A and B are shown apart, each in its own frame.
Chain A
């Protein structure tokens, strides 16, 4: 069974500081990996996804993530936080070998950006 662990349910950074949101996965086969963002009272918006091409994936809004197989990690980073980045972030995994694979989500990390 696949699983995702997001370290830190709450992360607080200052505007302009580095954002680092941690995600570790467990999967018996090489997975697809995703980061989604959720603003209050809204659905999920895809930030980026890893599907076995380059291990460093660039997404929207200046975010990027690096797939590290040896560490089973897919941490999300942004060099300089903006107030508009305050939201909840979810890491998710799916099984690339299974047609119709479901997404398995982590518990989420609430990002607060302080002025």
Chain B
């Protein structure tokens, strides 16, 4: 049984560009949350998708947007990349919006140069 799958694993982008990160949730899970983990810090909540809608959002600018597809997979899009967007982006999936816990993927390491 596959866990949470994220792609790509590593990515290098130039400041000002746009990036799309992808996440496939664990089998049986219907909710996807995205977290940003800067170097040496704890993960910070970006947003959560359930039933193809954004249900909650953390303190992140509108440059960060997402989407959830009918098969529950999700994308995170970041526009107008800044150097400060360099981080590990973690996807977490859950059943029923996380009441029973979250399963994390291994993350996408984004470097903005």
A and B: interacting chains: yes
Q: How many residues on A have C-beta within 8 angstroms of the other chain's C-beta atoms?
A: 24
How long is the Cα–Cα vector from A104 to B59 in the complex, in angstroms? 12
Residue B111 at the chain A interface, CB threshold 8 Å? no
Q: A34-B101, A45-B104, A94-B98 are in contact. Are A100 and B50 (CB under 8 A)?
A: yes
Q: How many residues on B have C-beta within 8 angstroms of the other chain's C-beta atoms?
A: 28
Cβ of A18: which chain B residues have Cβ within 8 Å of it? none
Cβ of B97: which chain A residues have Cβ within 8 Å of it? 99-101
11 contacts between A and B (CB under 8 A): A34-B101, A41-B106, A42-B107, A43-B4, A43-B104, A90-B42, A100-B97, A103-B35, A103-B92, A103-B102, A105-B44
Cβ of B101: which chain A residues have Cβ within 8 Å of it? 34, 46, 49
B residues whose Cβ falls under 8 Å from a Cβ of A: 4, 31, 33, 35, 40-45, 48, 50, 55-56, 58, 90, 92, 97-99, 101-107, 109
Contact with B along A97-115 (1 / 0, CB 8 A): 0011111111110000000
- Which residues between 3 and 53 of chain A lie within 8 Å of chain B, taking CB atoms? 4, 34, 36, 41-46, 49
Q: A43-B105, A43-B107, A94-B98 are in contact. Are A102 and B56 (CB under 8 A)?
A: yes
| A-B pairs with lowest CB-CB distance, top 8 | A105-B42, A100-B97, A44-B104, A102-B45, A43-B104, A43-B106, A100-B55, A43-B107
